Amino acid sequence: MTHYPSTGRQYLPAAGSLRIDNVRPYGEGEPVSVLVEDGTITQLGKVSAAADTVIDGGGNVLLPGLVDMHVHLREPGREDTETIESGSRAAAKGGFTAVYTMANTSPVTDQPIIAESVWAKSQALGLCDVHPVGSITKGLEGKTLTEFGMMARSDAKVRMFSDDGKCVQDPQLMRRALEYAKGLDVLLAQHAEDHRMTDGACAHEGATAAKLGLRGWPRVAEESIVIRDALLARDYGNRVHICHASTTGTVELLKWAKDQGIPLTAEVTPHHLMLTDDKLVTYDGVFRVNPPLREEHDTLALRQALLDGVIDCVSTDHAPHGAEDKCVEFENAKPGMLGLESSLAVVAKIFVESGLADWRFVARVMSEKPAEITRTPDHGRPIAVGEPANLTIVDPKHAWTSDSAKLESKSENNPYEGEEFSAHVTHTFLRGNLTYKLEK
């Protein structure tokens, strides 16, 4: 047993030793070797030591294992669409070593026992650390706060609370949640949507929705909650994390809040970085998502905000849904898209292949920052001697075409079907254990 003191948890690391040859940490410099013993990096550089297992990294990019602070693995309740196991396999294939699964399960994760069962299952599987997110309100009903303390102190050590899927609409309840969270140093993540403005809405309020006859979700429904929560964070002194930022206005408000020193953080999804509401013209339910796909200027503002650090990180909001909920009239389709198996390729395409940023940036926004915001100390760590071997190897030039039939996820609501990408994960390691390998 290795005990990483930072978490207080015990993990079973890989028994024995592993040598990964011919990899370039952060895509920089000449290829090196990494020696991993009992789940920890013990040598880095020119390594001559023998090892039980030797893997040739093919000269590819070595990154810290990716961390996704926003997924929906649907267990308990909708195991027909995703389970901890299928979601963990999808995560490992996407290069992730830790994910946070949202509380809008059935039953809702509003008690320690549900959180503990999610965590225990993920640890028994050993494919990815699946951290349960607790709900802010009982049953996601927006009325009564859950017992943050009991969930935080449970074996699941819940460190993030969110009613994601729904917004905590009542400002007084959000204020009380902030005060409660502050004492425990847990994070509140807000799904920013004033539901009074989005009743019946299924698309971004704009020219496309008007043309298609779809009811619109205005930007202000998101932005009004972002500014409200920024002011609550300022006055009641605790962190708030904004889920899936989607508008140019949200970017402006985040910048304002950060300039004031307000402890607000934010994420953006790969689909809001890549896709716009033009996709809706076929009325394909796969493109229904909350918040909705917006317009080009929003996409460009979100990209720039991520580059500038105004938005802290990328989260997939991986939201599996079955065909019965997606292959229906657009307004009846459930909102949500898959993301775990494509996010690295999407981010690489937009930022690395375009020359806007490098692999250090990818490591920052997809691993280090989300680990920092969630205080997940064993992940998002530097690639260095003494650190846990949570690692991902990426081939930046492995041409592939997105194909829903080849996904590890149990669902097929993949918005990138037929899209061509270059970057692909070749190996993922969780504490030195191989959790994914690309079959050539």
Cα–Cα dist 35/32, whole Å: 10
**Do the bridges between strand 264-268 and strand 313-314 make them parallel or antiparallel, or are there none, so unpaired?**
parallel
Write down the least CB distance from residue 70 to ligand DOR, Å.
Answer: 9
Write down the least CB distance from residue 293 to ligand DOR, Å.
Answer: 10
Rule CB under 6 A: is residue 275 a binding residue for ligand DOR? no
Write down the least CB distance from residue 325 to ligand DOR, Å.
Answer: 9
Structure tokens at 391: 């690692």
Cα–Cα dist 108/123, whole Å: 21
**Do the bridges between strand 96-101 and strand 66-71 make them parallel or antiparallel, or are there none, so unpaired?**
parallel
Give me the 24-63 binding string for ligand DOR, x by CB under 6 A, dash otherwise: ----------------------------------------
63 annotated ligand-binding residue: no
**Do the bridges between strand 433-437 and strand 424-430 make them parallel or antiparallel, or are there none, so unpaired?**
antiparallel
How many C-beta atoms surround the C-beta of residue 10 within 10 A? 11
Cα–Cα dist 412/326, whole Å: 9
Which of Zn ion, ligand DOR, none does residue 336 bind (CB under 5 to 8 Å by kind)?
Answer: ligand DOR
Write down the least CB distance from residue 192 to Zn ion, Å.
Answer: 12
Residue closer to ligand DOR (CB basis): 74 or 89: 74
Question: Which residues of this protein are in contact with Zn ion, per CB under 5 A?
Answer: 164, 317
Q: What is the dihedral of CA 298, 299, 305, 311, to 10 degrees?
A: 90
Residue closer to Zn ion (CB basis): 341 or 378: 341
Residue closer to ligand DOR (CB basis): 310 or 333: 333
Contacts to ligand DOR from residues 189-208, by CB under 6 A: 191
Residue closer to ligand DOR (CB basis): 370 or 415: 415
Per CB under 6 A, the list member of 19, 72, 89, 271 interacting with ligand DOR is: 72
Give me the 159-188 binding string for ligand DOR, x by CB under 6 A, dash otherwise: -----xx-----------------------
**Do the bridges between strand 2-3 and strand 10-11 make them parallel or antiparallel, or are there none, so unpaired?**
antiparallel
Q: How many CA atoms lie within 13 A of 400 on its CB side?
A: 23
335 annotated ligand-binding residue: yes
355 annotated ligand-binding residue: no
Nearest to 68 by CA among 93, 90, 97, 44: 97
Contacts to ligand DOR from residues 308-337, by CB under 6 A: 317, 319, 335-336
Contacts to ligand DOR from residues 420-439, by CB under 6 A: none
241 annotated ligand-binding residue: no
Residue closer to Zn ion (CB basis): 19 or 72: 72
Q: Which residue is nearest to ligand DOR (CB)?
A: 336
74 annotated ligand-binding residue: yes
Write down the least CB distance from residue 291 to ligand DOR, Å.
Answer: 7
Rule CB under 6 A: is residue 290 a binding residue for ligand DOR? yes
Long-range (24+ apart) CB contacts under 8 A made by 173-176 are 173/137, 173/142, 173/143, 173/145, 174/228, 174/229, 174/232, 175/232, 175/236, 176/145
Q: What backbone phi and psi angles, to 5 degrees, belong to 269?
A: -90, 155
Cα–Cα dist 364/306, whole Å: 10
Write down the least CB distance from residue 162 to Zn ion, Å.
Answer: 8
Rule CB under 6 A: is residue 370 a binding residue for ligand DOR? no
Residue closer to ligand DOR (CB basis): 25 or 336: 336
For 275-335, the DSSP string reads --GGGGGG--GGG--SSPP--HHHHHHHHHHHHHTSS-EE---B----HHHHSS-GGGSPP
Cα–Cα dist 97/85, whole Å: 13
Residue 91 makes CB contacts below 8 A (sequence gap 6+) with: 68, 71, 99, 127, 128, 130, 340
Contact in structure between 173 and 142 (CB atoms under 8 Å): yes
Residue closer to ligand DOR (CB basis): 140 or 362: 140
Whether 317 is a known active-site residue: answer: yes
Write down the least CB distance from residue 317 to ligand DOR, Å.
Answer: 6
Rule CB under 6 A: is residue 413 a binding residue for ligand DOR? no
- Among 68, 129, 229, 317, which one carries the catalytic annotation? 317
Cα–Cα dist 73/188, whole Å: 19
Which of ligand DOR, Zn ion, none does residue 272 bind (CB under 5 to 8 Å by kind)?
Answer: none
Rule CB under 6 A: is residue 104 a binding residue for ligand DOR? yes
Binding residues: 70, 72-74, 104, 164, 191, 244, 290, 317, 321, 335-336
Residues at the binding site for substrate are 72-74, 104, 290, 321, 335-336
The set of catalytic residues is 317
Interaction site with ligand DOR (CB under 6 A): 72, 104, 164-165, 191, 289-290, 317, 319, 335-336
